[in-house]
């Protein structure tokens, strides 16, 4: 039996859907028209403004949330341009922060790639092909 024909050990996991490399380019929207306002009794929310699932809003609770294409992700972004655990969002009394989790394609805020950053109302996140607008409620 050659090396290529040997069975894999039981503890080795093969990734069946690898993350594809992708960089934002001309698909970045023109944001000069201004974002749609989202209001309600919540602290922070992300609304998908472009890409798959446009119009879907994720309301973020206190603590950590994971954005990714993994089934356990709080902010589920099902596309191969998104890593399974792409970024961590944290809501605290100080506000909303995001940390990229060593994703393949990075996390962009207002067109600039960041490893970690605080987020503000109307910031535009790009995670893979998804464009998400940051909103803050009155909750």
pTM over 0.75: no
pLDDT of residue 51: 83
DSSP state for residue 4 in the 8-state scheme: G
| Mean pLDDT of the region 74-99 | 96
| pLDDT surpassing 90 at residue 75 | yes
Instruction: Give the span between the Cα atoms of 112 and 137, in whole angstroms.
Output: 25
CA angle 95, 98, 137 (to 5 degrees): 40
More confident residue, 33 or 67: 67
Share of the chain above pLDDT 90, in %: 63
Q: In angstroms, what CA-CA distances link 83 with 15, 60, 86?
A: 12, 20, 5
């Amino acid at each position: 039996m050659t090396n290529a024909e040997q069975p894999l050990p039981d503890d080795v996991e093969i990734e069946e859907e690898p993350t594809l490399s992708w960089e934002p380019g001309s698909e970045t929207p023109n944001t000069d028209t201004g974002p749609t306002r989202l209001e309600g009794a919540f602290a922070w929310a992300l609304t998908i403004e472009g890409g798959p699932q446009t119009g879907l809003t994720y309301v973020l609770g206190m603590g950590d949330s994971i954005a990714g294409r993994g089934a356990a992700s709080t902010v589920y972004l099902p596309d191969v341009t998104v890593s399974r655990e792409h970024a961590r969002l944290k809501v605290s009394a100080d506000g909303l922060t995001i940390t990229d989790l060593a994703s393949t394609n990075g996390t962009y805020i207002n067109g600039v790639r960041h490893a970690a950053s605080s987020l503000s109302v109307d910031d535009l996140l790009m995670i893979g092909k998804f464009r998400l607008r940051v909103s803050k409620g009155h909750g």
